[in-house]
Amino acid sequence: MKMHTIRLGMLLGAPAVPILFAALAIAAPGLNEFGATMYEDENFQDTPCPIRFRQNIPDLNRFEFGNQADSMRWRIPRGWCLVLFDRPNYQTPLLVVDGIGSIRDLENGKNSRGKDLNIEDKFESVGWYPARQVATDPAFRYAQRVR
């Protein structure tokens, strides 16, 4: 399994401190913390990219994980949503997830309405938003939802 190293300073604007993604990883399959984990391959295989609750990532490419996700698991607290975007800096929302769930194959998975997602390898940024904002802000109108 490949390990990605990130720099805490990239996330917090502080001096750079190396941290292994594995140290931030959310235990899977038994998610016991709020957050999400994206994987490079279908069925939760290969390199994980953990996303802790309220950890916004404006550019996944900085961590060599942009356009890499093929599967994901999540545990989102009530009142919040995780939004995955097609472009860096939170542009073009593609997918909104909430609750507890997983998608084994982002290309062949289904959204909340039973339609094919077909969004494998398309995420370049992720952000946490209050569910009320996602429900009312027109910017999120066309994003697919998975619950």
Structure tokens at 85: 């975007």
> 52-109, pLDDT tens digit by residue?
998 999 998 888 788 888 889 999 999 999 999 999 999 999 999 999 999 888 878 7
The domains found in the chain, sorted by start residue, are: 5-146 (2.60.20.10)
Of 81, 90, 35, 82, the C-alpha closest to 60 is 90
The pTM for the full model equals: 0.74
